[in-house]
Amino acid sequence: MNRLPRWLVAALAVVPAVGLAVFYLWPFATLVVAALDADALTDTLGRSQTWKVVWFTLWQAVASTAVTITVGMIPAYVVARFDFRGRSVLVGLLTATFVLPTVVMGAAFLALLPDSLERTVWAVIGAHVAFNVAVVVRIVGALWEHLPTDMEYAAATLGASRLQIASRISLPLIRPAITAAATIVFLFTFTSFGVIRILGAPGTRTIEVEVWRRATQLGDIGGATVLALLQLAVLGVVLVWSTMAQRRHSRSLAMGPAALRRRARTRGERRFVAAAAGSTALIAIVPLAALVVRSFSTPDGWSANAWTHLGRTEVRPGLRVGVDPVDAIANSLINAAWATLFAVTIGALASLAITAAKRHGRLIDGGLMLPLGTSAVTIGLGMLITFDVAPVDWRASWWLVPVGHALVAVPFVVRVCVGVLRSVDPAMTDAAATLGAPPIRAWWSTVVPYLWQPLRVGAALAAAISLGEFGATSFLSRSGGETLPIAIEQLLGRTGTTLQAQGYVLATMLATLTVVLVVAVEQSEAAPQRMVGP
């Protein structure tokens, strides 16, 4: 077998390993040390306010998860079992909604709901449901469409009702997928930050928001670190429980290719499919439509002033915006460009090292996935308190924000690239070596060309993640360096319809940019990969 020299594998791994150690492991260790302070522990855990925040975080996450699973089961069934016009559009619409930045979804529900429901827990739960219903459709629907239908048909032949078939046959078989979807939704809603910052009332704070508030507004770094680690502990318990539950309820089935989806036959089925698909589409479309409408709405009627006067920091004499929307757009684009460059470079090196190192590559792979299991707020807090002391006083450095974004984006780049590189047939490299190519030349000619296509997909994902990143940026950005999510939150929090309309303008622009990048990813994955021979 043709193997790369160890020195080359080590050279490929050194930059990702050093980056992970400096910008994730070191800040995380700093957080642990800060949280182990006895005074911080007793003071934070002894406050009744702390447990009120924990309780609110827990119950709103449970409620959001329960409603999301309930709402998502019907479209998951319809998408899995029926073939209907607009099915692919519906799935794409749900996916696009899921990848939108959380501040966009928060702004969309702020635009949609009446004043009586604004900044209430019901608004928060509604935004969580609209944001996460795609998780249920994707995960549960993916298993549902592979389930053999012969048991369902046999039960129907024996006189079982649809409710009996669902409760006694279908649901037990898809329970592992339901558990997985519920776990993911719970993790997203338990660590909710952007939605709460936009829609939450002063008394409705999740642990994420409380960590940010204590660190940036109260200067209570010790209390913030204790809460951040408390949150990680809860998430760890939930993940362990989810893994055990999925194993306990798993069933051994002859899982073949996806069952052929069928057209609705009866009038009742056609009405059911149309109602399910239509209402699900409305969940995704209506909030975003309200976002656009509110960007043109003023007390005096319809107006495009919020769009045409976007660059003006003084909306009228004596009333200043406080944040320059045009600068925020420029900052976001610049940060996204650098974050994409960092993420693609590190992700490419890491992917090549992981696949070349074989068994030892699992260590690099697992290490780079760690930021994916850590909230962006925790990452931002760790970097804030670590890089604030000489000789690493980097808080004012322009590159710290894109590095924080890249830390969150690298795992996605790696996952996209590693799967493709591992599918390369080793016989190709061996054949090149047999023809006289040295090991490095054979590897470069037969393996590396497969990297370019997934890297384009990873670059688009990294750019989308950077544009919408809000948690880490809330800690790392400085005055004058506000990004689009931060500008949206500040503008929507101001009084005055003109300022809020500009917030809706920025949210519309951010949503559009994100959807364009997602469409680019979809097209890149569908495009045939061009290869370069040895």
- CA gap 470, 489 in Å, rounded: 10
pLDDT of the residue at 63: 96
What class is the 47-207+238-295 domain?
Answer: mainly alpha
pLDDT of the residue at 346: 95
pLDDT of the residue at 310: 77
* 303-352 pLDDT per residue, tens: 888 888 776 655 555 555 567 888 999 999 999 999 999 999 999 999 98
* 239-294 pLDDT per residue, tens: 888 878 767 655 545 454 555 677 888 888 889 999 999 999 999 899 999 999 99
pLDDT of the residue at 152: 65
Average pLDDT over residues 387-414: 89
Average pLDDT over residues 417-431: 77
**Token pair for 77:** 């069934």
Is the pLDDT at 99 greater than 90? The verdict is no
How would you label 341-365 residue by residue, b for 16+ Cβ within 10 Å and e otherwise? ebbbbbbbbbbbbbbbbeeebeebb
pLDDT of the residue at 530: 45
pLDDT of the residue at 532: 41
238: number of Cβ within 10 Å: 16
- CA gap 411, 390 in Å, rounded: 30
Bridge partners of 297, per DSSP, are: 302
Locate tokens 């893994």: which residue?
A: 243
Least confident of 54-63, 116-125, 467-476: 116-125
- CA gap 212, 454 in Å, rounded: 35
pLDDT of the residue at 203: 72
Its pTM stands at: 0.84
- CA gap 477, 343 in Å, rounded: 19
Rounded to whole angstroms, what are the CA distances from 80 to 65, 147, 171, 383?
21, 10, 14, 43
- CA gap 253, 534 in Å, rounded: 43
What percent of the chain has a predicted confidence (pLDDT) above 70?
87
pLDDT of the residue at 322: 65
pLDDT of the residue at 314: 59
Beta carbons of 525 and 468 less than 8 angstroms apart: no
- CA gap 506, 130 in Å, rounded: 20
What percent of the chain has a predicted confidence (pLDDT) above 90?
32
Our measurement of the distance from residue 439's CA atom to the centroid of its chain's CA atoms, rounded to an integer in Å, reads: 39
Which range in 4-13, 56-65, 456-465 is most confidently predicted, on average pLDDT?
Answer: 56-65
* 190-236 pLDDT per residue, tens: 998 999 999 887 778 899 999 999 988 888 888 888 998 889 888 88
pLDDT of the residue at 534: 37
**Token pair for 359:** 């068994």
Average pLDDT over residues 42-46: 87
Mean pLDDT of the chain: 83
Average pLDDT over residues 418-430: 76
Beta carbons of 79 and 257 less than 8 angstroms apart: no
Cβ within 8 Å of residue 293, ≥6 positions away: 111
Sign of CA dihedral 24, 26, 29, 31: negative
Q: Where are the domains of the chain?
A: 8-35+307-534, 47-207+238-295
Is the pLDDT at 527 greater than 80? The verdict is no
Least confident of 31-35, 194-198, 402-406: 31-35
pLDDT of the residue at 424: 75
Rounded to whole angstroms, what are the CA distances from 338 to 16, 332, 499?
16, 10, 30
Residue 165 or residue 458, greater confidence:
458
CATH code, 8-35+307-534: 1.10.3720.10
Rounded to whole angstroms, what are the CA distances from 355 to 45, 60, 93?
45, 41, 34
**SS3 assignment, position 450:** helix
Residue 353 or residue 244, greater confidence:
353
Amino acid at 302: W
Beta carbons of 155 and 165 less than 8 angstroms apart: yes
DSSP string covering 350-390: HHHHHHHHGGGHHHHHHHHHGGGGS-HHHHHHHHHHHTTST
Confidence of residue 44 (pLDDT cuts 50, 70, 90): confident
5: number of Cβ within 10 Å: 13
264: number of Cβ within 10 Å: 17
Rounded to whole angstroms, what are the CA distances from 227 to 22, 35, 234, 509?
23, 8, 11, 34
Is the pLDDT at 358 greater than 80? The verdict is no
Least confident of 152-156, 365-369, 466-470: 152-156
- CA gap 84, 269 in Å, rounded: 11
- CA gap 448, 532 in Å, rounded: 9
- CA gap 216, 214 in Å, rounded: 6
Residue 263, phi then psi, degrees to nearest 5? -75, 145
Confidence of residue 65 (pLDDT cuts 50, 70, 90): very high
Beta carbons of 412 and 462 less than 8 angstroms apart: yes
DSSP string covering 215-275: HHTS--HHHHHHHHHHHHHHHHHHHHHHHHHHHHH-------SPPPPB---SHHHHHHHHH
DSSP string covering 52-119: HHHHHHHHHHHHHHHHHHHHHHHHHHHHHHB--TTHHHHHHHHHHHHHS-HHHHHHHHHHHS-TTTTT
Residue 148 or residue 226, greater confidence:
226
- Judge if 8-35+307-534 and 47-207+238-295 fold alike in CATH terms: yes
pLDDT of the residue at 531: 42
Residue 60, phi then psi, degrees to nearest 5? -70, -30
pLDDT of the residue at 505: 92
Bridge partners of 316, per DSSP, are: 319
Is the pLDDT at 407 greater than 90? The verdict is yes
- Residue whose C-alpha is closest to residue 177's, from 250, 248, 97, 90: 250
**Quick one: angle between helices 361-369 and 400-422, nearest 10?**
140
DSSP 170: I
Is the pLDDT at 22 greater than 50? The verdict is yes
